[in-house]
Amino acid sequence: MKLIEGIHWKLLLVIIILSGMGIFVQFISRMGNVDVDKKMIAIIRKQYLEHPKMQEEDLYKLLHQAAMGSEHAVKNPAMAEQWMKEEIKDLDLSKKENLVDTLSAGGNIVRINLRSYLKSGYNPDLLVKKFILTANEYRGSLDTLKRYFSIARRMIKRNQLPLDLDKFNRLTAEMEPKNFPAIHHSKTYEEEYNPAYRVIASKYLPELFNK
């Protein structure tokens, strides 16, 4: 009888310990989510401050790149290389831009702005190769994308972003049946900022900047 009672107490102790571990894991998970939210809010805010003419489409594109990486697989590397040559041929390098913009909360996806990259004397051919590798190998997360959408919606509701929440919601609702594809920048953004960049995995940065 005492043996059975001892087993009961041991079982109760195990249950208490496991319950405590479960609460601890949930706490750690929540703290991690808060950290992700803070980092993503900072990224979105920084992009808006640098591009105050940003539209709802541009916010969607930013979040899509942050969660999904490069927009689509590159099936024809030669075309990607030619695209780079055509883009940099007449690119005005006088505009000041960041060399690297971090896009994802985890820091694993970045934009390399071509003007600063070229002015710094780095190799455009190597950048194309890393862009292709990222496009073909990086696996994004739709769950992460949806989380980023939620963060952006909260920012708009709190007037931290002067964008139209209804318009943003209509855009994401329109894209959802299509499995959230990549889209182009808005005409306003294109005309105002003439964006020229490549989205790559940050793990390739040491190779890119090793002259």
Q: At what angle do helices 56-68 and 165-175 cross, to 10 degrees?
A: 50
Q: Is 1 helix (H, G, I), strand (E, B) or coil?
A: coil
pLDDT higher than 70, residue 204: yes
Per the listing, tokens 């079982």 go with: 11
pLDDT of 140 > 60? The answer is yes
**What pLDDT sits at residue 29?**
40
Buried b (16+ CB within 10 A) or exposed e, 108-117: ebbbbbbbbb
pTM of the model: 0.83
d(CA 183, CA 57): 8
197 by DSSP, 3-state: which?
Answer: strand
pLDDT in tens, 52-108: 999 999 999 999 999 999 867 788 999 999 999 999 998 999 999 999 999 999 999
On average, the pLDDT of the chain sits at 88
Give CA–CA dist 167/162, Å, rounded. 12
Span 31-42, pLDDT tens digits: 445 688 999 999
DSSP letter (8 states) at residue 124: H
Choose among 84, 87, 120, 114: nearest CA to 101.
Answer: 114
> How do beta strands 109-113 and 100-102 pair?
antiparallel
Reply yes or no on whether the pLDDT at 10 is more than 90.
Answer: no
